Every structure is written in C-alpha cells, then in structure tokens.
Chains A and B, each alone.
Chain A
C-alpha cells in the first residue's frame, strides 16, 4: 500500500503538465516572498515615500495624474530652482511616472478606488516579483537544468543587493529599471539564439522602455555591443548576430531618441559610440561575407586587406575630426567618474559628494549578496563548459558588471542579476548531481577508465576539468552530506537576506526609529513635523533655502519653492547656496535677499546624535562653493592649524562665523546647564556662549532639534545694518565706533 502511494507520488512529478503547474506555483510563491520581504517598512512605519529622490518622483506622478500626459510632457516647474525654474518634462525619465499613472487609470477603470500614493509605495515590490520571473526566463536560456531558473528567481527575489533599491516606498527609477534590464537581456539572448527579427524588435521595445525609465540604460547600451564584439573576436560572426543586433540597434536607438531628456545623445556622446561602432562594424562584416561568397579566394585576400586598412584609417580620421570640431561631445564628467572616482573628487565635487558614487569595499559585496558572491565565480566557470553565445554573454556581463560595481556602490544593482543567474547555475549543478537518486554501478566505469584516451582528445577544445566523462556519485552518504550542507547554506542565505532587509534597507529615512531603554520602539518624526509646519505657517510662495539634499522633500512634503534640489543640474546655483551657508552673515544676507529667500532650513543632529546632518555635510558645501569662488570661500580656513575639523571652542573664526555653524548651534547651549552643552554627533563639549544671529530669526525648531528653520529678516526700518539693529535690541549701548560710519549713500538700484 505504502509502496504504491510512493510510486504515485514519484510519477506525479513526471508528467509535463504537473511540472508546469508546480513551476507556476513555485514562481508565484517566489513572487510572494519577494513582495513580502519588501514590506518591512510599511508594516513597521506606514505607507510612506522614502528618502529624497522618490519624493520628486511622487510629486511628478501626482502632477501627471492630475494634469494629464501632455501637460506633464511640457511641464515647466517654477517651484524649484528659484528663480531659474526647471524644464521638468524635458529633464526627467518619465517611465516610472507613466507606469504608475497607467496602473492608476487601469485600476480606476476597473472601479477599484486606490490612492496614487499607495500605487507609488507598492510599485517597487510589485515589479520585484516580475524581476524574479525575468531572471527565471533568462536563466532557462542558459542551462537545460530546470531547477536553475527557479533558483535564480528565488535569489533575485530576495537578494539584498536588489532589495536595497526596491523596498516598499522606495519609489525610484530603479524600481522598474532592474526588471526592464533583466527582461531586455532575456529578449536579447532569445533574439540572438534564434536570429529572429521579432525578438530583436521586442528587445528594442523594452530597451526603449528602459531608456525612458533610468539613466542606467547606458549599461545595456555598452554591454550588448561588447557582447557582440567578443563574439566577433571569437570568430562567431553569424547572420543570427547580424539580424538581432541590427534590429535592436536601429529600433532601440530610434525609441530612445523619443525621450526628450535623451534626444540626440545616442548619436553624439561617447557612451553611445561603442553601440554605433559595432553597428557599422557588423555592416562591414556582412558585406565582406557577401563578397567572399561572390569572388575567388585569392583576390578576396587582397580585397580584405585593402578594405580593412582603408576603413580603419577613414574611421579614425572621422573620429578625430568630429571630436576636434566638437560634433561629438567630449567624454562627460560622470563617465570619467566611473573609471576613476579620484577624477570626480578633484574636478566635480558635486558628484564626489554623493555617497552612492563612492567605490565599494568588500564587506558591502558580502552584505548585499552573501553566499552568492562566492557561488558567482563558480557559475561563471560553469558557463565556460559549453560556451555557447549566451554563455559568452554571462561571462562578459559578469566581468563588466563586477568592475563597475567595484567602482561605484550604486552599480551593485546592475551586478546583482548576473550574480543571481550565475550562482543559480552553480548551485543547481551541484544539487542536480547530488540529488540524483540513481547511483552508477562501479563495474561499468572501471573499464571505461582505461579506454579513456580517445575521449580526452576529442574534448580538447573544452575545459580541462571536463575532459573525463561524467560518472555520477556512488555513495548515498556523499549525496546526503553535500545536499544537507547546501540546504543549510541556502537557509542561512534566506536568514541573512531577511536580516539585512529588516535592519539595513527598510528605514524610510524620513521617519527614524530608535529604541527606548525598555526596548520599545520610539519614532522620531522631526522631518514631517517641520515640513508640516512650513506647509501650515508660511505663505504658499515662501522660498526655502536649504542644502540640495532636502530640496525634493520640501517640494514634496511642504509644497514650497526651493532654491536647489536633488536634481543638481546647475552647479553654480548649488555653489551659491553653499557660499551663503559657509560665509559670514554680512556676505550671506545680500545673497539671500537677491534670491528672495524667506526661510532657511538646516538639519542638525547634535542633540540626538543623528550623524547625517548638515555640519557633517558642511565641508562639501564649502568645497562646491570654493570651486566657483576660490577667493571668497576657502576650505583651509575651516580647519584648525593642526588640520582638524572642529566645532567646539577650538573651531576657527571662519567656522564660527559661518551661517551654517550659527544656525546649527544658535541657542543650543540654553538646553543644557552651564558648561554642559554637548554635541552628540561630534562628541565634543561646546563653549558656553553660543553664536549670535543678526540677519535671521529663529522660526521653528523641531522636537528633537533635527530640523531648524530660520526666517530671513526684512531690511531694517531705520536703515541700520542688522548687526547694530540687533545690538540695539539686545540693549547694548551704541558703540563709539558708530561715529566712524561712512555717510550713508543714496541707494541707486
């Protein structure tokens, strides 16, 4: 009876339809796990948009939903970058907003009432489910093993390297871009394998969608030509390659040029040149291929040489002329910063100041990928076994991706898919070998071993390790040991991913959480408190000056115009704000008046020990300002003679007189008993006498002092300068120095 039921169970897994059903169920479960693991932040906090950039995307989406697509396309935003404004419709990647707008309208059409905010919050988790499916498809193209695809999907679903940018509320371009990236690669492999124009066109379509969604599309633009180039170098030029590549390039480039932000870049900038170059190269190869079939081989040799050298010379000439004539843009700064972030530090401080543009230390790799990081090389090695065209793709992608992930933390995101695919290939290879219930018979293979010589020679072109024939694993003990160990590692991986997601990647950073001594959770909500205050207590067109990090949040949450925001398109404007923050009050005040600033917002973590505050970012403001006004702002002067960055009594005069220092520490000592004032971030004791502010009034300070807002004073009614007016109000005598004052001049504007 029991033997019979086992038989039934064993047969149940063998039918094709049963397998398909199982696969669908497993994929659905994986998608469920992928979505569920991204919901930590919603459960722990609430359904809220995270961080900085998502707030802009959210605001843009609301605009799109409210005003319609065409208005959105032509949107000129006069509430940012005051007084310049920003041509928002032409300077963003609209894919994300249009996707959520479409979902919103579709749900509305189905009479499901849903708030646009909830769509935005949950978009990234929903797309992560799709990404897992795309990884499944891509892996299935690589290996015949049915389990590899499912493993890849599972890895993709829960790998922290991807979760870091796709938790619920992280409404950023990457939320949909990674799905598009993986799916475009899948379509490319499909097109290449079949030499199919249809798949090539589909690939171009999704490439166009990717371009519309994320600036990282350049990764595809460089990787596909590289793959094609490697294939050509390996002597694997084929009509399949020709058809798929040219279809992708022609249609994909046209599609990408439809995005106003991209425009003519694909034919101008150097990042796009490899794709164009390979396109031309393939045409030449196709032409040569045709000529070879048409003329005798002796003449063909001469023709080939002449043709090759002529083309090379001509191409070089055109490139030199075009670059020197300025038709082709020089290699852009962001591009250089990919090769060497040291370049960015010297030449473009605004890029170097972003923590995402820093190189990656090894713990970050392990943190984001755990055991996948060491399965990854093994998987790549296994790709060398067959080394068909699609395996070359994995190898090229692995090298390219790991280099860029090493240079820039953010690009860990583009590495994660290939790590998941390669690791899945490796681990499925191990599991397939050791979970096979059939054991080989030792006698069969003893004989084989002797007559192995011929087989060895046949497999010469392959890897050394695969020269012998596969025998299989004999002992059940061996099988169970390896299978148990692998299961343990996989379980550990799941634990790791959950732990990392829960601890590191699920904080909205708008709302902070801390633990009280009794272990209960305490929510610190200063940001929203302050933005709400701005919304309720200031005029609707009151201009807020803050460092650019908070621009999007002020725009999104407080709905007030800002001077600079996270778009960072205008370095000079940012440097102006940096100068205002790092100069003396007398210098800053005219700058603020000229920009019609009504309120200044600073972030101060000294009371709470919140290290991401403005004093810690201050040196970047100084550096960026120094880049534009090297004679007026000097980084050196913010360091003590011994080269230390100090905020206590030893701080330099320039530091103590800077507007940022004054705004951060204004009245701070009054919180403490005399002599006890302490900055908990820098861990220093502050002087008893705090700074005085003459041109600003304190308007608002949040509960934990994280956000401080100051109102810019109007001109003095009696025409005095602010310093003397403030001194008079404090009850000081008029100083004799006033006698020396120069006769007041008539102001001519």
Chain B
C-alpha cells in the first residue's frame, strides 16, 4: 500500500496541472495581453499569478513582486513602482499586437501572500523574469531569472536593458518618458521671474555683488565647508547623527574614514572660530586704540584660540586613537 499516497499526490499534481493548463498557452497569453492593453502592468493575485506563470508557456512574463502597503515600509518598492509602471506602459504601447510576447505583472504582498511564502521571499521588491518554455524563444530551464536590486532603486531604462538582454531577436519598445509639463512650465516661470527680478533689483544688488566683505564671507564659508568634509557627506550620504547604542547620541563617528553630518558642522565651526581668532589677532587687535581694551582683546582671542585648538586636538584623538599630541585643558 505504500504506493497509494505517492499515486494520490501524483494524480493530484496532474489534476492541478490540468486545471492550470485547462486554457491553452495561447489563450492565456491572449487573455493577459488583452488585460494589459487596458491597464498594464496587470495586477495579479495568487491564482492569476499561478495561471500566468504555469508551464508550458510560449510567452514571456515579467512579474514584480512588491510590497507597496505603508505597513511594510518598503521604501525601495515605492520608489521603483512608477518606473516599473512607466516601463510596462511604454513597452505595451510600443508593441500593441504583442509581437514581443511579453506580459508585465505586479503582485503585491497583500494579494499574493501564498506566492511570497512558496518562493521563500524575505525581501521585496523582487523582479522575476519567466522565459517561455515552448515555442521559438524557449529557454532550456523554466526557472525564473531574478533581477538584482542590490544597487538601490533602478531606473526604467536599466530594467529595460536587462529585459532586452534576456529577450534577443524580439522587438524591444523603448522607454518613453512623458514630457514633464510641470517641470518645463515651472522652469520657465522661475527663469523669467528671476530675470525680471534681477533687472529690477540690479541697482540694489550691484553694491552687494561688488562688496568685498560679501565675497570674503562667501569664500571663507565655502573653504570651511570643503575642508571639513562636506563633499564626503554629499557623496557618501552619511547620516546626520547616529545613536551610540545606549539611547544617547554619538556626535563623532568612530574611525578615521568615517564621519557624520553634524560632526563635520562642528568641525567647520571649530575651524571657523580658530580662523576668526587668528584674523582678530592679526588685523583687529592692532587697530584698537585703547591700550586696556587691547590688552583684554589679546587675552580673550588668545585664550579662545588656545582652548579651541586644544579641543580640536582632543576631538581628533577620538578619531585617531594613536594620536599622541594634546594641549592642556582637554588632555
């Protein structure tokens, strides 16, 4: 009797297979293609997903498994969704007769919990590409090919290129981005507005532009920004501050090659104070006519310089553990 369960399950499998294959592959493609002509990508649920991706199939399927609901907090899904919609729309629009035999589908986690389970997916989004199993473009393996979202959100063009690579000898309708009217109009309005403003305000702006103090301030601020690692923040997109693991805030990142946004601002401020103290000592103090005021100013600026430099050195020792030098207050 040991063969009975095997037989049963086998027949069951055959039955479900027959159920899915009830409609021929041609019929299924027609059905889904018609659907996608009205709205693409086709919104799938568990059952329609199974029917769409059942073997044998002589068409290609690209399914995005995603989790758009706010509950899941999938930032990447939400960022990619418009790109995906754009890609499928421009593809279907460029290929209305369905010559490329490609169906786009989207399966949201809320509609396709079982599919996510059966595929053992832990993350979203996942883009699966099902090659045809029969027909002229049949692939050797019915297994879907998975697109990698490892490098963050992808653009429609990048995914298009990936699809095109897997579908040689078939038409690849290009991605057509709709004209962003709002952007054009707003650019036009802003440009003309600012030109008008510049024309009207020119006599008032001119003295500001020609003012040496303004330029000195701009130069110094940009130098301070650049030398305190602002470009690093910009390129690496570092966090502004981070927790220290005990509920507090850690202002200075551990490690020499690492920094936080706020840390660079603190450093820029320190450099600024030090520079300003130097400038005051060099330029302002010798111009004070009153001896007493001058004496106090020298002491004050000299003291600020000393304490601030000492603090800077102590901060640097946090970053670079082996640094041996320090000045008194912050030893």
Contact = CB atoms under 8 A, between A and B. Distances in A.
B294 interface: yes
Contact of A384 (B212, B302, B312, B327): B212
Contact of B282 (A430, A477, A478): A430
B24 interface: no
Secondary structure dominating the interface of A:
helix
Contact of B319 (A363, A373, A374, A636): A363
The interface centre, meaning the residue of A403, A489, A495 with most chain B CB atoms within 10 A of its CB, is A403
22 contacts: A340-B235, A359-B232, A361-B257, A362-B227, A362-B229, A366-B316, A376-B223, A377-B271, A377-B272, A378-B276, A378-B278, A381-B275, A382-B283, A403-B226, A426-B278, A429-B283, A461-B212, A465-B279, A485-B306, A489-B309, A492-B327, A639-B150
Contacts of A449: 289
Contact of B231 (A407, A429, A639, A641): A407
B272 to A, nearest CB: 7
B281 A430 contact: yes
B165 A630 contact: yes
Interface in B48-64: none
A380 interface: yes
Nearest to A419: B227
B213 A464 contact: yes
Contact of A471 (B274, B288, B305, B316): B288
Contacts of B215: 384
Contacts of A496: 325
A406 B223 CA distance: 10
A377 B285 CA distance: 18
B13 to A, nearest CB: 27
Nearest to B150: A636
Contacts of A315: none
Contacts of B294: 471, 473-475, 478
A446 interface: yes
A32 to B, nearest CB: 24
Nearest to A448: B289
Contacts of A448: 289
A492 B310 CA distance: 11
A380 B236 contact: no
Interface string A495-513: 1100100010000000000
Contact of B220 (A363, A381, A446, A477): A381
A423 to B, nearest CB: 9
A442 interface: yes
A115 interface: no
A469 B283 CA distance: 10
Given A375-B278, A378-B279, A482-B298, A363 B320 contact: yes
B302 A482 contact: yes
Contacts of A380: 219-220, 223
Contacts of A472: 286
B259 A465 contact: no
A359 B291 contact: no
Interface in A333-349: 340-342, 346
A635 B212 CA distance: 53
Contacts of B151: 346
Given A466-B287, A471-B287, A474-B291, 8 more contacts: A360-B231, A364-B229, A366-B316, A374-B275, A380-B220, A382-B279, A485-B306, A635-B150
B279 A406 contact: no
A448 B283 CA distance: 18
A405 B264 CA distance: 15
Contacts of A276: none
Interface in B204-246: 212-213, 215-216, 219-220, 222-224, 226-232, 234-236
A406 B231 contact: yes
A154 B287 CA distance: 29
Interface in B136-158: 148, 150-151
A557 B143 CA distance: 50
Interface residues of B, number: 66
B309 A371 contact: yes
Contacts of B223: 376-377, 380, 398-399, 402
B58 to A, nearest CB: 23
A39 B288 CA distance: 47
A634 interface: yes
Interface in A451-499: 461-466, 468-475, 477-478, 481-482, 485, 489, 492, 495-496, 499
Interface string A387-406: 10000000100110011011
A478 B229 contact: no
Contact of A469 (B232, B258, B287): B287
Given A362-B264, A492-B327, A496-B325, A442 B229 contact: no
Contacts of B279: 378, 381-382, 426, 465
Contacts of A346: 151
A406 B226 contact: yes
Nearest to A369: B227
Contact of A478 (B220, B283, B295): B295
Contacts of A16: none
Nearest to A623: B151
Contacts of B226: 399, 402-403, 405-406
B320 A367 contact: yes
A340 B291 CA distance: 52
Contact of A426 (B222, B282, B289, B295): B282
Contact of B298 (A341, A398, A473, A631): A473
Interface of B: 122, 148, 150-151, 162, 165, 212-213, 215-216, 219-220, 222-224, 226-232, 234-236, 256-259, 263-264, 267, 270-272, 274-276, 278-279, 281-289, 291, 294-295, 298-299, 302, 305-306, 309, 312, 316, 319-320, 322, 324-325, 327
A377 B275 contact: yes
Tier of interface size on chain A: 35 or more
A340 B309 CA distance: 32
Nearest to A425: B282
Contacts of B320: 363, 367
Nearest to A432: B282
B224 A377 contact: yes
A381 B212 CA distance: 10
The interface centre, meaning the residue of B223, B267, B324 with most chain A CB atoms within 10 A of its CB, is B223
A406 B232 contact: yes
Contacts of B271: 373-374, 377
Contacts of B234: 359
A375 B229 CA distance: 17
Nearest to B224: A377
Contacts of B278: 374-375, 378, 426-427, 430
The interface centre, meaning the residue of B258, B279, B322, B327 with most chain A CB atoms within 10 A of its CB, is B279
A362 B251 CA distance: 14
A406 B230 contact: yes
A667 interface: no
A365 interface: yes
A364 B227 CA distance: 9
Contacts of B235: 340-342, 359, 407
Nearest to B229: A362
A433 interface: yes
Give the 3 A-B residue pairs with the shortest CB-CB distance, closest first: A406-B231, A362-B229, A374-B274
Interface string A435-449: 000000010011011
A374 B264 CA distance: 14
Contacts of B305: 485
A481 B301 CA distance: 11
Contacts of A641: 122
Nearest to B228: A362
A490 to B, nearest CB: 12
A485 B275 contact: no
Contacts of B275: 374-378, 381
A361 B259 contact: yes
A471 B289 contact: yes
A359 B236 contact: yes
Contacts of B283: 382, 385, 429, 465-466
Given A359-B236, A367-B320, A470 B227 contact: no
